[in-house]
């Protein structure tokens, strides 16, 4: 079996390639216009590399050569083939970038079969055992952090998206944010992303069987992390099961150092499935009696179910002095200490409505940004080591 990755080709060409005997094909970016060599190399799973990358006619030449050079440098065993009619000068430039061959989109089937045969002979799949779930990030090195709350509208998505932006500063291209609010997820809108693929595709059999395919379902955010966006239709994932979610998150944790999960309010099956694989929970509440009491019940239930991760951050969001409750009242009701207090700030909603979360602009002194930094310090374990006493990172 020859593993073939086709970048930026039209549907007709992809259809021709997919019927070549003994070929396992993944195609990316038929409609894509922004081609970053870094992003392409990043989606390659070192444990199940393609034998051949076809640089299709829709990838602008400069980008194609950039991708070829980057891929060749990192994975010299992969055959790189440029599709299209090119001049002799371009051919020389392409060969210098590591391109092995050039073919025309209208070449004969025999030509493509020969190209595949050569790629298989010395491609990485022949050198390594291709294993879909093989880890490129050792599982103990990856952390899955799940953001939950019993009530809706308390700021889970705001926190998850801003934390992802902050984490990308220290772990560029190594963080994935998963929108597990399967019915009404709004991570894509909050980040102003227009995903070509969504969660719906990620639960398909192809993605479940192959990390490379799964990575093609992710959308890159300009600040340097990846997002698995929610499906357009609330009904799209209604039959998704806990084990499927389990599998998806475990697969992602083999590919990224941090898997950050935004969830729907309450303890639905997706959230429980995520908590089964979570290393850390971020519990979010607002400062009103109903929300605080629900958190208490949620903590009790999760503890009974054995689903309360050891690492825990309790976050009070939308904090203001008018709420009538004090932080110590909240702690008394819930029975656990509050770790971070995030103040109410009118700039948060404004920024989210423009698809530009506040962390993007990193305004120093903005209380919300300071609070997210405090949470990041906890999550990244860079907070000053506490002695035995619990210390709240209070920023309100
Ligand atoms: N600290 C804050 N200050 C002001 N507004 C905030 C703050 N945090 C969140 N918001 C606003 O509150 C609203 C709800 O936030 P968000 O969508 O993040 O909540 P959620 O818990 O994800 O909701 P849902 O359960 O519906 O998914 C949004 O309009 C958001 O901009
Ligand atoms: Mg939300």
Residue 309: C-alpha distances to residues 20, 272, 330 (Å): 48, 12, 21
Distance from Cα 244 to the centre of ligand 1, integer Å: 28
124 closest CA partner among 35, 45, 8, 233: 45
195 CA to centre of ligand 2 in angstroms: 18
Neighbouring C-beta atoms of residue 40, cutoff 10 Å: 23
Residue nearest to atom 3 of ligand 1 (CA): 344
Q: Give domain limits for the chain.
A: 2-127, 139-394
Cβ–Cβ < 8 Å for 227, 176:
yes
Task: Give the tens place of pLDDT for each residue, 344-374.
Answer: 998 998 888 889 999 998 777 789 999 999 9
The pLDDT value recorded for residue 74 is: 85
| Pair of tokens at residue 96 | 């210098």
Give the model's pLDDT for residue 136: 65
What share of the chain in percent tops pLDDT 90?
Answer: 55
Q: What is the pLDDT of residue 361?
A: 82
Q: What is the pLDDT of residue 76?
A: 86
Pocket mutation for ligand 1, best pick of 146, 155, 353, 354 (most atoms within 8 Å of C-beta)? 155
Q: Ligand 2: distance of its center to the CA of 381 in Å?
A: 25
Is the separation of the CB atoms in 60 and 35 below 8 Å? yes
DSSP 2-56: EEEEEES--HHHHHHHHTSTTEEEEEE-SS-----HHHHHHH--TTS--SEEEE-
Cβ–ligand 1 contact at 153 (below 6 Å)? yes
Q: pLDDT band for 324, please (50, 70, 90 cuts).
A: confident
The answer, yes or no, to whether any atom of ligand 1 lies below 6 A from the CB of 240, is no
Structure tokens at 149: 């709350």
Nearest CA to ligand 1 atom 23: 153
Q: Mind listing the pLDDT tens digit for each residue in 164-202?
A: 999 999 998 889 999 999 999 999 999 999 888 899 989
Ligand nearest to the CA of 149: 1
190 Cα nearest atom in ligand 1: 17
User: What is the enclosing helix (H) or strand (E) of 114?
Assistant: helix 109-122
Q: Which fold has domain 139-394?
A: Rossmann fold (3.40.50)
* pTM score of the predicted model: 0.75
Q: What is the mean pLDDT of residues 252-274?
A: 95
Common-topology check for domains 2-127 and 139-394: yes
Q: Which uninterrupted H or E stretch holds 227?
A: strand 225-228
The answer to whether the CB of 191 is under 6 A from ligand 1 is: no
Q: Which ligand is nearest to the CA of 318?
A: 1
- pLDDT-derived band at 79 (thresholds 50, 70, 90) equals very high
- Quick one: CA dihedral 99, 100, 104, 110, positive or negative? negative
Nearest to 36 by CA among 9, 7, 57: 7
Q: Judge contact between 221 and 259, C-beta under 8 A.
A: no
CATH 3.40.50.2300: does it fit domain 2-127? yes
What is the whole-number distance in angstroms between the Cα of residue 150 and the centre of ligand 1? Answer: 14
Confidence of residue 27 (pLDDT cuts 50, 70, 90): confident
Residue 325 per-residue DSSP state: -
| pLDDT at residue 384 tops 60 | no
138 lines ligand 1 (CB under 6 A): no
- Write out the two tokens for 142: 């990856």
Would you place residue 140 in the very low, low, confident or very high pLDDT band (cuts 50, 70, 90)?
Answer: low
Residues bordering ligand 2, an ion, CB closer than 5 Å: 156-157
Would you say 315 and 284 are in contact if contact means Cβ atoms under 8 Å apart? yes
pLDDT at 380 over 50: yes
Q: And the tokens for 31?
A: 């409609």
pLDDT at residue 126, rounded to an integer: 53
Whether 214 contacts 202, CB under 8 Å = yes
The answer, yes or no, to whether residue 393 has pLDDT greater than 60, is no
Share of the chain above pLDDT 70, in %: 91
Interacting residues of 273 by C-beta distance below 8 A, sequence separation 6+: 242, 243, 245, 246, 249
pLDDT at 242 over 70: yes
Q: Under DSSP, is residue 220 helix (H, G, I), strand (E, B) or coil?
A: strand
How does the average pLDDT of the chain come out, rounded? Answer: 87
Please tell me if the CB atom of residue 158 comes closer than 6 angstroms to any atom of ligand 1.
yes
pLDDT of residue 31: 67
User: Above 60 in pLDDT, residue 160?
Assistant: yes
């Amino acid at each position: 079996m020859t593993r073939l990755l086709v970048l930026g080709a039209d549907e007709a060409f992809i259809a021709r390639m997919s019927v070549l005997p003994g070929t396992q094909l993944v195609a990316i970016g038929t409609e894509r216009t922004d081609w970053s060599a870094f992003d392409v190399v990043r989606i390659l799973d070192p444990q199940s590399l393609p034998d051949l990358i076809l640089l299709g006619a829709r990838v602008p030449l400069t980008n194609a050569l950039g991708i070829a050079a980057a891929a060749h440098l990192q994975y010299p065993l992969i055959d790189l083939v440029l599709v299209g009619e090119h001049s002799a000068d371009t051919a020389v430039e392409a060969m210098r970038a590591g391109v092995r061959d050039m073919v025309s989109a209208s070449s004969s089937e025999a030509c493509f079969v020969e190209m595949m045969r050569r790629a298989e002979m010395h491609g990485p799949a022949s050198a390594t055992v291709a294993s879909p779930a093989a880890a490129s990030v050792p599982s103990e090195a990856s952390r899955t952090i799940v953001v939950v709350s019993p009530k809706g509208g308390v700021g889970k998505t705001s926190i998850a998206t801003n934390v992802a932006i902050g984490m990308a500063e220290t772990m560029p291209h190594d963080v994935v944010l998963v929108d597990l609010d399967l019915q009404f997820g709004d991570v894509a809108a909050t980040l102003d992303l227009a995903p070509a693929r969504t969660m719906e595709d990620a639960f398909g059999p192809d993605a479940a069987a192959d990390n490379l395919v799964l990575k093609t379902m992710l959308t890159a955010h300009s600040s340097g992390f990846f997002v698995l966006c929610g499906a357009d239709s609330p009904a799209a994932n209604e039959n998704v099961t806990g084990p499927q979610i389990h599998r998806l998150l475990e697969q992602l944790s083999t590919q990224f150092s941090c898997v950050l999960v935004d969830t729907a309010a309450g303890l639905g099956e997706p959230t429980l499935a995520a908590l089964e694989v979570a290393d850390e929970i971020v519990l979010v509440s607002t400062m009103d009696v109903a929300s605080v009491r629900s958190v208490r019940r949620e903590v009790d239930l999760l503890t009974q179910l054995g689903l309360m991760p050891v690492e825990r951050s309790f976050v009070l969001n939308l904090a203001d002095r008018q709420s009538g409750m004090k932080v110590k009242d909240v702690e008394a009701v819930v029975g656990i200490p509050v770790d971070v207090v995030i103040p109410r700030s009118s700039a948060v909603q404004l920024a989210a409505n423009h698809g530009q979360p506040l962390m993007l602009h990193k305004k120093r002194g903005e209380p919300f940004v300071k609070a997210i930094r405090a949470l990041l310090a906890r999550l990244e374990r860079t907070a000053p080591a506490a002695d035995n006493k619990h210390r709240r990172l209070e920023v309100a």
